[in-house]
Amino acid sequence: MNRNNLKSSLAELVNTEFSLQNEENNKWAVELAIANRKLAFQNEEKDKRAAELDIANKELAFQNEEKDKRAAELVIANRKLAFQNEEKDKRAAELDIANKEKDKRAAELAIANKELAFQNEEKDKRAAELAIANKELAFQNEEKSKRAAELAIANKELAFQNEEKSKRAEELNDLAFYDALTGLPNRRILIDRLHHALSSNVRQGFESAVMFIDLDHFKDINDTLGHEVGDLLLIQIAQRLESCLRKCDTVARLGGDEFVLILENLDQKTIEAAAKANFIADKIFAALNKPYQLDMHECYSTVSIGLAFFGHEGKTAEGLLKQADIAMYQAKKAGGNTMRFFNQKMQDIINVRTSLEHELRIAVAKSQFNLYYQIQMDSSNRVWGAEALIRWVHPERGLVSPATFIPLAEETGLILPIGQWVIETACAQIKIWQKESLTRDLTLSVNVSAKQFRQTDFVDQVQSAVRRHAISANLLKLELTESLFQEDIKVTIATMNALNNIGIQFSLDDFGTGYSSLQYLKQLPLDQIKIDQSFVRDIAIDSNDRAIVKAIIAMAHILKIDVIAEGVETEEQRQLLLGKGCSFFQGYLFSKPIPIEQFEALIRSGSEFN
């Protein structure tokens, strides 16, 4: 009630202020009308002075001897007049004094007009002189055109000679640096670019790789179909390899059936670099395993790939090629049509990652996921809502942490069906909660990845889930991370507005750790900002964290956005946050993420937590 009375009082004060402002505006309108009438009168006076000016012009015909003095005075008068015009609005009251000097200025203006007439006469003389000069210039241009025609003929001859010279130079360059059959760089360019990549890695700290590719059973094609067909195969393989690479990568032919790729700047992290190299290798296998139409023959060919990584540890170009060659022969020994790392440890890691991806695809197909729920509390220690957190219940590994499989899901695109399952499951749970008085008002937050959010039909997916489960849309809250706003901000805002229009709420997760622009923050239809736990963890002992949290909360209040702090583990942290204006809390102080049965038992045990 007190809050409603306060709002009513504030509204009355605002209305009173608006009324006073309207009265002031009316007064100003009356004063402006009076000023306009005065200005109209002054314009009439101005017309009279103009008539008097014509008479003065006749009388001043004999004052040519005074011209120099008057010209100086005219400059001064014009400056004063320009100044007076600029100050006209401010000096409306001084307009009567200015009008008294108007006749004097008009007389001086007449003198200036005569001076202008004299200048025009001089201008006509100059025009006549210019016409004579133009005739002379036209003659010179005719002569110039003749010379230009002669020069054009000479330039054509020179251009033809230069073109022939360039062709010969390109042919010599191609023979020196490029493979004559495939057009790919040869060993000479490969070594040069590899030296450059090694130097670049030392400076930038990125992981790169050399990929050595050798065709399996290429000799059989040459022996059975002939070397011409073998050459056609090599040309098509070169083309397919180029289509698989990024712009910064290099593919070269060493000779025979051997190709080498330089994959630069894969990643600063070794594991991620290996994963990206493995992804490129998969693209290569998929491209090269397709059939080849070689003249009248349809052929199939596979390759063996050896991979050697280099970072900033000072390897040599020849040493890397040797390592990649050794790895390639290991792939040959394994039966071909496969890839081997020079580092066995890296190979093991990739094998584990590949296995995990396979198992994750099975998990998506068989819905081996559960949602765990972490309670969210308000400032009065009442249950306010929950965040739904996905868990993978693996039949052999047990509970798999999201930190293990979510990045892999993002990379492989499996995050899309997983994210859709989360939204469907959350809507189904909200539907169940709406049937009970204790839970019908609880909001449920779910995390949405940037890739999932940017789907063209994401709005339709959410709307369909809400309609299918017949739930109140305002009970579903989508948590977005700041990385979503790094690109296509206008599209992001449009998507958020479309969902907000049907009642969906939005929370900005991990606020303060990413790339939020305050310029766009005010445009986003946000209902909540979540303070990242990295600021909450040391808030009791770190003054910087306290200052950052205070600033975030103050900014959110100005923008009329709720604030929730995550990672609250102690009562001291809660009290500090509460003192700075934080209204909602989440963390192990209240409960860790737990299965739905335990969560519902928790909230049934009491709506207030002491």
330 and 397 part of one domain: no
378 and 513 part of one domain: yes
Q: Which residues of the chain have pLDDT under 70?
A: 1-3, 61, 167-176, 312-314, 344-347, 349-350, 514-517, 606-610
For residues 375 and 588, the answer to whether their CB atoms sit within 8 Å is no
237 and 367 part of one domain: no
Q: What is the DSSP string of 251-283?
A: EEEEETTEEEEEEEEEESSHHHHHHHHHHHHHH
Residue 150 pLDDT? 82
Name the CA radius of gyration of the chain, rounded: 41
User: Which of the listed residues 290, 313, 342 is the one where a domain comes to its end?
Assistant: 342
Q: Is residue 43 part of a domain?
A: no
569 closest CA partner among 542, 533, 607, 605: 533
Q: What does the pLDDT look like over 526-541, one tens digit per residue?
A: 999 999 999 999 999 9
Q: What does the pLDDT look like over 308-342, one tens digit per residue?
A: 988 766 678 898 898 898 899 889 988 999 999 88
Distance of CA 87 to the CA centre of its chain: 48
378 and 524 part of one domain: yes
CATH of the domain at 330: 3.30.70.270
Q: Is residue 467 part of a domain?
A: yes
Per the listing, tokens 């490969």 go with 190
What token pair was written down for 48? 């009279």
Say how far apart CA 123 and CA 103 lie, in whole Å. 30
Residue 22 pLDDT? 83
Domain count, the chain: 2
CATH of the domain at 552: 3.20.20.450
Residue 130 pLDDT? 84
369 and 305 part of one domain: no
Residue 610 pLDDT? 44
Q: Is residue 428 part of a domain?
A: yes
282 and 386 part of one domain: no
432 and 284 part of one domain: no
381 and 277 part of one domain: no
245 and 363 part of one domain: no
- Domain residue limits at 402: 358-605
Residue 76 pLDDT? 86
Q: Is residue 162 part of a domain?
A: no
Q: Is residue 502 part of a domain?
A: yes
365 and 331 part of one domain: no
Sign of CA dihedral 76, 78, 80, 86: negative
User: Which of the listed residues 310, 342, 374 is the one where a domain comes to its end?
Assistant: 342
For residues 54 and 61, the answer to whether their CB atoms sit within 8 Å is no
